[in-house]
Amino acid sequence: MLRYLWRSEIRESRLKSQRIRYVKQWVDTSTMPIVKSAESYAPSNIALCKYWGKRNRVLNLPLTDSLSVSLGTHGSHCRLTLADYEQDHVILDGKELPKESPFARRLTDYLDLFRPAGTYGLICEATNTVPTAAGLASSASGFASVIMALNQLLGWNLDDAQLSILARLGSGSASRSLWHGFVHWHAGSDPDGTDSFAVPVDCTWPEVRIGVVMLSTAKKPISSTDAMNLTTDTSHLYQSWPAQVAHDLGLMQQAICSRDFDLLGQTAEHNAMSMHATMISSKPSVLYWSPETVAAIHQIHRLRSEGVAVYLTIDAGPNIKLLYQKQDEQALLSTFSSMVPINPWLH
Ligand code: PMV
């Protein structure tokens, strides 16, 4: 056991030093803050064409492109204040977290990438406006808001692409959380990931809505990163995933340009189901769905057969996100009374 912990610490510290070297090509990490405090906001996002699989696990470089829609006012606010002491203090939704809590450690590790060891501490106040009951991942909006606040605090003046690259190191999907609306993360081909960043898609579609149907608050059996790596390493179905993403992405871009809602919904649902098929077929199998997830999928199929244009997507968990249009909201709320309706265009 001790040997295992020792090995995993060595692995962690190697990973951290590789990342520290990487960020030096983007920013001068010897810079001290130029202002006492900085604030920012980033929306959460839901992938319609999923990111599933890394070509570089240290730099979070994806094997494929992905496309998301941001969740408007549902996201993370971040305030970073220079502390009078060397240690960080992490305050999440008004409560100070113990230093050893996974969230505080992950955030401090991320901040460490951008400062010389032992120079200054930060008070990090993070507030999530993602309804906690909705079970939406806040890591994407969290890391995107942190990098935006750091950009101001340290006076870097980075452009959006550079911010997306640095947010990616916190969590892959954070690279897409710097914008509102539809966002396309280009996988890129450079081994160093200089061309792997997200860009906004120039289109608003005011009728499109996301509905979050919370089915379970239980802790995930396996993290998305571990599940992703297991899938790419062991699932025979994964071989066809990159080609499918390229195909789905083309259809989604076409659907967005021509405002073809059924094409967008069908493609997004098919893409999510295919992603889950790759993980279900990994060894050992990763199955995030609960019996309630399956029941909800059947209900969505039934609603569709009755003429409601509703589609679903599922991430690394049992909860379901619905893709629908404004006019169908009431019909959906009568079937899914706990659904949290989100207007992505309100921000
Ligand atoms: O960014 P991560 O490492 O939390 O992975 C996100 C994975 C999915 O949510 C399942 C897909 C996606 O593109 O957001």
Span from the CA of 171 to the centroid of ligand 1 (angstroms):
8
Nearest-CA residue for atom 8 of ligand 1: 315
Per-residue pLDDT at 131: 65
Maximum alpha-carbon separation in the chain: 62
Is the pLDDT at 217 greater than 90? The verdict is no
Where in 162-309 does DSSP place strands (E)?
182-185, 198-200, 208-213
Is residue 64 in contact with ligand 1, taking CB distance under 6 Å?
Answer: no
Span from the CA of 173 to the centroid of ligand 1 (angstroms):
5
Q: Are 285 and 236 in contact (CB under 8 A)?
A: no
pTM reported for the whole predicted model: 0.95
Q: Which two tokens stand for residue 235?
A: 């699932």
Is residue 51 in contact with ligand 1, taking CB distance under 6 Å?
Answer: yes
Instruction: Locate the ligand 1 atom nearest the alpha carbon of residue 139 and give its number.
Output: 4
Q: Are 186 and 164 in contact (CB under 8 A)?
A: no
Per-residue pLDDT at 245: 98
If you search the block for the tokens 């608050």, which residue do you land on? 217
How many Å apart are CA 299 and CA 215, to the nearest integer?
14
Residues 6+ apart with CB under 8 A from 272: 50, 312, 313, 314, 315
85-110 confidence digits (pLDDT tens): 889 999 999 999 999 998 999 999 99
Nearest-CA residue for atom 6 of ligand 1: 173
Span from the CA of 68 to the centroid of ligand 1 (angstroms):
10
Is residue 88 in contact with ligand 1, taking CB distance under 6 Å?
Answer: no
Band the pLDDT of 316: cuts 50, 70, 90: very high
Euclidean distance between the first and final Cα of the chain, in Å? 49
The closest alpha carbon to 38, from 166, 153, 143, 145, belongs to: 153
Is the pLDDT at 82 greater than 80? The verdict is yes
